[in-house]
A = this chain, B = another copy of it.
Amino acid sequence: MKETFGEYIKSLRTENELTLTQLASKLDLDSANLSKIENNKREFDEKRLELLANVFNLDLAKLRTEFFSDIIAKKIYDNNCDSETLILAEQKVEYLKSKNLTTI
């Protein structure tokens, strides 16, 4: 079972024996805010994904997948969306691709 993105960062951090302050500084972030991110009280900012990948030598593409799936999961969870939602979403992605639509 997949953990949240914040918990993932926390496990990366502790496995590498870094303090919040140390990692926060590498990510150009306040340690208090990093704590909130790790505890699902704030969102990690997309613009720091590359930095995070570099710090822990991670594959950026995989990290992005991890990141966006987290955002989507939270949206579904927070709004009590039913199980059909993701199936429909997948169809709509195909539709958008087929139409080459420019959305907001």
Known contacts A74-B96, A77-B93: A4-B101 contact under CB 8 Å: yes
How far, in whole Å, are A64 and B92 apart by their CA atoms in the complex? 15
Say which one of A17-25, A26-34, A50-58, A79-87 lies at the interface with B: A79-87
How far, in whole Å, are A90 and B86 apart by their CA atoms in the complex? 8
Number of interface residues of A (CB under 8 A): 45
Chain A residues within 8 Å of B, Cβ to Cβ? 1-4, 40-43, 61, 64-66, 68-79, 81-82, 84-98, 101-104
Given contacts A40-B101, A73-B89, 9 further A-B contacts (CB under 8 A): A3-B92, A4-B92, A4-B101, A69-B87, A72-B76, A72-B89, A72-B92, A77-B93, A77-B101
